[in-house]
Amino acid sequence: MENIINSTIRLDEVGQDQKKVNIKYGEQKFSFWLYKKDGAKTKAFESWEELKLVVGDDADVQYKEEDAEWEKDGKTINFKRRTILQLRRSFVKAPASNTPQRSNPAATAPVGDFVTRKEFEEKIADMSAAFMRLQVDVANKEDKISIKLTDVPY
């Protein structure tokens, strides 16, 4: 199973080409692909388009980190490849130390923990409707219930 890391980062620099979005947070670099091999948008790119994040914003990200290398001028350069799987707007500020705040560095959380704003709003609407139905149900039954405070033992 892949090692999935949950972190809060600040978007210090953002760049996009035709294949991926690159984000820099302090000295660390993150990226995500725009499209899957089958041509469908990645979850990260769908969230990116919906959230309209800009430089200076904080984001909660799920990413996988792996050791990688590339050749430059005959030298092998080793680096950490951080591929963002999902992202969402953060409600907390990223640490000023430019080190991602990991909720658990060894976390192997399923990607499904993150939802888009649309999914979140739909879930809240469903929960609100259920609460309203419960309130109506309780109000309808209040006429049939007679209880006094003296009936309840303390």
> What's the pLDDT tens digit per position in 11-22?
999 999 999 999
Pairing of the two strands 13-16 and 28-33: unpaired
64 Cβ partners below 8 Å, 6+ apart? Answer: 2, 3, 4, 5, 82, 83, 85
- How do residues 35-92 score in pLDDT, each as one tens digit? 999 999 999 999 999 999 999 899 999 999 999 998 989 999 999 999 999 999 887 7
Token pair 């909660």 is found at: 60
Strands (E), 12-57: 13-16, 20-25, 28-33
Tell me if 20 sits within 8 A of 9, measured CB to CB.
Answer: no
CA dist 19 and 111 (Å) reads 21
**34 and 20 Cβ atoms separated by less than 8 Å:** yes
For strand 101-102 and strand 13-16, is the pairing parallel, antiparallel, or unpaired? unpaired
Q: Distance from CA of residue 34 to its chain's centroid?
A: 17
**Of all residues in the chain, what percent carry a pLDDT higher than 90?**
45
Higher pLDDT, 150 or 75: 75
Q: What is the pLDDT of residue 146?
A: 64
Domains located in the chain, CATH noted: 4-111 (2.40.50)
Q: What whole-number distance in Å separates Cα of residue 26 and Cα of residue 80? A: 14
